[in-house]
Amino acid sequence: MAKPKVILRADGNSSVGLGHIMRLKTFSGYINDIAEITFVTKCDNELILNELKSSGIEVLQIDYNIPFQNEILYLLNLKPDCVVFDGYDFKTEYQTELRKNNIKIVSLDDDFNCHYESDIVINHAPNINPDMYSKETYTKLLLGIDYLIINPVFFKCTGKNKNENSISVNFGGADPGNLTLKYLKCIYELNIFNEINIITGAANTHIKSIENFIESNDSGNVINFYNSISQDELSDIFCRSEYSLCPSSSVTYESLASKCIVFSGISADNQINIYKGLSDLNLIVKCGDFNSLKENDFSAIVRNTILNSEFKNQLIDNIFSIFTNNQADNYKLIFRELFGSQ
């Protein structure tokens, strides 16, 4: 029996980041043995496109300015059984056009930004109220950490081989506001950490400014700088890092699965729900809005956390109680059920 054909549809660039693309790349690993996968994107970043292709995914690029109806026709001509969306442009009208052609739809969501005609909507933010969604009666909601979408490699970390007073800093694939440099300066000037791991992504346009700071200041070789690395390499860095500084996106989930104490906050509006949910569960050190947070206030948060052993131990206990296993097998079952209903 032929595998069902699944199209993954997401975009990304240096302005909006690469989170949607990377999340779908992870998702593809959950179902690649039960589906034939094609990734359709407007992204023109060669590093990202090559990373997708190296994972064995067929990648098709479409023009950035393709008209809506032309894009629909393009997808229909690929004759998919299912389309999986991750992004904010795939709203009700888009879903309606696909449903007219009996195509199954799965939407990965962050912010309830439309009425959903999808068969499945996935939002892995904690404590989401299902009533926030406008949807059809047949739409199945998969909400919360039970439906977490991160690479299983991050769950291999046991938390036993952490380097004391080490921290990783990762503001995602693009970091348009160069928060990496802002907080690198803060962390370095604190003179607390023995190891600082700076991680940037393929769409980051501020690499030179970060390199210049490191070259001018790091005479003691405390700072390690990594750009556009693999998930395996990222997992290794998180596994040895006692602390992690990152926005409330998939990077925070990857850090928590790697048993890091996480300083987390908001760098973009779509992170609010994850931030609130993880705060309510007492899983992160709350930093608020990274864009407006003053350097002195951030430094105080870090100092107070490091000095508060009771608070740190409670965080670690909470992390170990929740981040125990990945959801790949769950998603295989969910997709088998979806395809079986065709």
118-157 in b/e form (b: 16+ CB < 10 A) is: bbbbbbbbbebeeeebebeeebebbbebebbbbbbbbbeb
What is the per-residue pLDDT for 131? 96
For position 339, what pLDDT does the model report? Answer: 86
- pLDDT score recorded for residue 154: 95
Tell me, yes or no, whether 195 and 317 share the same domain: yes
Q: Helix count (H) and strand count (E) of the chain?
A: 12, 15
Query: Do 207 and 242 share a domain, yes or no?
Result: yes
CATH of the domain at 90: 3.40.50.11190
In this structure, the answer to whether residues 295 and 159 fall within a common structural domain is yes
Tell me: do 101 and 162 sit in the same domain. Answer: no
Sign of CA dihedral 20, 22, 23, 25: positive
The reply to whether 142 and 156 lie within a common domain is: no
Task: Tell me the angle at which helices 46-54 and 19-31 cross, rounded to the nearest 10 degrees.
Answer: 10
State whether 46 and 189 are in the same domain: no
What is the pLDDT at residue 243? 98
Rounded to the nearest 10 degrees, how much is the dihedral formed by the CA atoms of 143, 254, 184, 159? 130
Say yes or no: 142 and 21 in one domain.
Answer: yes
Residue 182, domain CATH: 3.40.50.2000
Number of compact structural domains in the chain: 2
Are 11 and 54 part of one and the same domain? yes
Q: What is the pLDDT along the chain (342 residues), one digit of tens a residue?
A: 789 999 999 999 887 788 999 999 999 999 999 999 999 999 999 989 999 999 899 999 999 999 999 999 999 999 999 999 999 999 999 999 999 999 999 999 998 999 999 999 999 999 999 999 999 999 999 999 999 999 999 999 999 999 999 999 999 999 999 999 999 999 999 999 999 999 999 999 999 999 999 999 977 779 999 999 999 999 999 999 999 999 999 999 999 999 999 999 999 999 999 999 999 999 999 999 999 999 999 999 999 999 999 999 999 999 999 998 777 788 989 999 998 744
Does residue 121 sit in the same domain as residue 173? Answer: no
What's the domain range around 284? Answer: 152-322
Contacts of range 147-150, beta carbons closer than 8 Å, 24 or more positions apart: 147/122, 147/123, 147/327, 147/330, 147/331, 148/124, 148/253, 148/326, 148/327, 149/23, 149/26, 149/27, 149/30, 149/108, 149/122, 149/124, 149/250, 149/327, 150/26, 150/250, 150/253, 150/254, 150/257, 150/326
Do 163 and 111 have their domain in common? Answer: no
173 and 310 housed in the same domain: yes
pLDDT of residue 327: 77
- Residues 174 and 308 reside in one and the same domain: yes
